[in-house]
């Protein structure tokens, strides 16, 4: 198993789109828009691979002022609950810290709030609705 960083122009990106579609979009009846894909262009993509198989991925987006947003966190449903999400988020936190970021933040689905709390993220503010479901703004000082 290895964690690899990739960009939208790399072949791994297609695998991550498939994973994101299956785990994050289909359950909500969503697809990808051109704007969604355009948003990925400058971002850092991080994946957990077993050989050529992508088991989990997430995206980091620079949001200015030494802050970074973690988004599109997805673990293949065959592999959830095996510590892979934790491994990937810890890697993202460490990588962002090394790159000089001081704060990492995300919009956490209500169903994933406890997961992020366990990784040291804190809820800031009230819940809000995004893509039709309840979310929380969560952040962690790096």
Ligand X SMILES: CC(C)(COP(=O)(O)OP(=O)(O)OC[C@H]1O[C@@H](n2cnc3c(N)ncnc32)[C@H](O)[C@@H]1OP(=O)(O)O)[C@@H](O)C(=O)NCCC(=O)NCCS
> Which listed range, 12-20, 34-42, 45-53, 76-84, lies at the site for ligand X (CB under 6 A)?
76-84
Residues counted in the chain: 142
Examine residue 86 and tell whether it contacts ligand X (CB under 6 A): yes
Examine residue 122 and tell whether it contacts ligand X (CB under 6 A): no
> Which listed range, 9-17, 38-46, 61-69, 81-89, lies at the site for ligand X (CB under 6 A)?
81-89
User: Which whole-number Å values give the CA distances from 109 to 14, 42, 96, in the listed order?
Assistant: 24, 24, 22
Residue 133, φ and ψ in degrees, nearest 5? -130, 160
Q: Which two tokens stand for residue 122?
A: 């804190």
Examine residue 132 and tell whether it contacts ligand X (CB under 6 A): no
> Which listed range, 7-15, 74-82, 96-104, 125-133, lies at the site for ligand X (CB under 6 A)?
74-82
Which of helix, strand or coil describes residue 37? Answer: helix
Site string for ligand X, 19-38 (x = CB under 6 A): ----xx--------------
> Which listed range, 6-14, 71-79, 90-98, 123-131, lies at the site for ligand X (CB under 6 A)?
71-79
Among residues 111, 122, 128, 133, which is the contact residue for ligand X, using CB under 6 A?
111
Examine residue 82 and tell whether it contacts ligand X (CB under 6 A): yes
Specify burial of residue 81 (Cβ count, 10 A radius: 0-12, 13-18, 19+).
exposed
Q: CA-CA distance, 53 to 134, in Å (whole number)?
A: 31
Q: CA-CA distance, 52 to 4, in Å (whole number)?
A: 11
Binding residues for ligand X (CB under 6 A): 23-24, 73-75, 80-86, 108-109, 111-112, 114-115, 118
């Amino acid at each position: 198993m290895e964690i690899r960083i990739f960009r939208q122009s790399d072949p791994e990106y297609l695998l991550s789109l498939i994973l994101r579609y299956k785990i994050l979009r289909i359950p909500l009846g969503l697809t990808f828009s051109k704007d969604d894909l355009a948003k990925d262009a400058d971002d850092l993509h991080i994946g957990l691979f077993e050989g050529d198989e992508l088991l989990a991925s997430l995206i980091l987006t620079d949001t200015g002022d030494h802050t970074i947003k973690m988004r599109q966190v997805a673990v293949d449903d065959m592999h959830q609950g095996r510590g892979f999400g934790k491994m990937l988020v810890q890697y993202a936190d460490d990588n962002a810290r090394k790159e000089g970021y001081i704060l990492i933040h995300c919009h956490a689905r209500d169903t994933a709030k406890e997961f992020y709390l366990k990784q040291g993220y804190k809820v800031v503010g009230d819940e809000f609705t995004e893509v039709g479901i309840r979310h929380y703004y969560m952040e962690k000082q790096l």
